[in-house]
């Protein structure tokens, strides 16, 4: 059982379904409305914990009702919450999510408290990072916090998994310290300038990331699978699983959390990718984000049937 350190965002998800996603300036009637735990950090932490890992979550929430709900969720998922900061002035972050009948979504994020995380917040978790088997990062928190997390992980020789989402410009020097990078097609294109549209272009993008220092690149391709590339080896596509999607929100987070658990639990790289893919596939068959993350038993049963 691995020790997974997730340093990232927590936001409350405010979600409604609609027959279709609205065009600019348009109002579409939808419903029902749901409130639930979310944020890329929170989702990935939940996915890793439900997969079976010991999870330490480093984040920041507000001293409000949504923050209280967050604490209850963290307790339920049995996170180590010693490094969860509670802000007196900033509200808990929120994500406004619209989902259509095909499971596609539009999301607007107001980071709130987690957007004010600082280098000091990360340094306070140094002891946990030192004992971690992997540090999992996204780009939904301040760049200062991301850089500090990478710095401490490198100091303690702990592998870094970077999910560069939502994409924002960041210092490229970070990439030389990244063990695993997990962009989707759009994020890979933003990172490298290569439009990822097929296996050849995915390899070209992966090669650029390898040149920048990333050891293992996993470009997530939605239902098509994952393009897996290791330095000095040709990449390959690991096909995805066919499932009936209800809500694709959080699928990438399920993959990252599932993979982090599997790779720190002794599975091979390819096995860990398949485990992450199974977690993602199961997550899209349910509504919600953190609440849709599957448990270890569900994942193992799903894989055994395939």
**Known binding-site positions for substrate:** 11-13, 39-43, 140, 253
Measure the CA–CA gap between 180 and 260, rounded to whole angstroms.
10
**Strand order through the sheet with 93-99:** 33-38, 11-17, 93-99, 105-110
**Strand order through the sheet with 54-62:** 84-87, 54-62, 3-7, 134-137, 160-162, 180-181, 216-220, 226-230, 236-238
Which residues line the annotated binding site for K(+)?
A: 247, 249, 283, 286, 288, 292
Which residues line the annotated binding site?
A: 11-13, 39-43, 140, 184, 220-225, 247, 249, 252-253, 283, 286, 288, 292
Helices marked H in the chain = 40-51, 65-76, 119-123, 126-130, 143-155, 185-192, 199-211, 251-264, 269-283, 296-304
Residues 13 and 35: beta-carbon distance below 8 Å: yes
Measure the CA–CA gap between 133 and 54, rounded to whole angstroms.
10
**DSSP state letters, 182-213:** --BHHHHHHHHS----SHHHHHHHHHHHHHTT
Which residues line the annotated binding site for ATP?
A: 184, 220-225, 252-253
In the residue annotation, 253 being an active-site residue is answered as: yes
Measure the CA–CA gap between 140 and 197, rounded to whole angstroms.
25
Catalytic residue among 64, 133, 253, 291: 253
For the annotated catalytic residues, the residue numbers are 253
């Amino acid at each position: 059982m691995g020790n997974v350190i997730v340093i990232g965002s927590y936001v409350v998800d405010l979600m409604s379904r609609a027959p279709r996603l609205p065009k600019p300036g348009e109002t579409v009637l939808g419903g029902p409305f749901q409130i639930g735990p979310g944020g890329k950090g929170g989702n990935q932490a939940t996915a890793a914990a439900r997969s079976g890992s010991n999870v330490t979550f480093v984040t920041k929430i507000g001293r409000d009702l949504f923050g209280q709900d967050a604490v209850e969720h963290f307790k339920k998922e049995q996170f180590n919450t010693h490094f969860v900061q509670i802000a007196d002035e900033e509200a808990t972050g929120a994500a406004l999510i619209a989902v259509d009948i095909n499971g596609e979504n539009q999301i607007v994020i107001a980071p709130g408290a987690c957007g004010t995380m600082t280098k000091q917040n990360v340094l306070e978790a140094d002891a946990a990072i030192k004992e971690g088997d992997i540090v999992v990062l996204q780009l939904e928190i301040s760049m200062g916090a991301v850089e500090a997390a990478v710095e401490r992980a490198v100091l303690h020789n702990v592998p870094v998994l970077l999910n560069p989402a939502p994409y924002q410009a960041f210092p490229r020097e970070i990439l030389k310290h990244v063990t695993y990078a997990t962009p989707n097609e759009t994020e890979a294109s933003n990172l490298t300038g290569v439009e990822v549209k097929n296996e050849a272009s995915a390899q070209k993008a992966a090669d650029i990331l390898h040149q920048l220092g990333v050891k293992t690149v996993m470009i997530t391709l939605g239902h098509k699978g994952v393009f897996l590339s290791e330095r000095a080896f040709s990449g390959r596509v690991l096909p995805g699983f066919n499932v009936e999607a209800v809500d694709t929100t959080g699928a990438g987070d399920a993959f990252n959390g599932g993979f982090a658990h599997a790779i720190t639990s002794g599975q091979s790289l390819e096995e860990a990718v398949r485990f992450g893919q199974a977690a993602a596939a199961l997550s899209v068959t349910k509504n919600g984000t953190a609440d849709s993350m599957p448990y270890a038993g569900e994942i193992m049963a799903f894989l055994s049937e395939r």
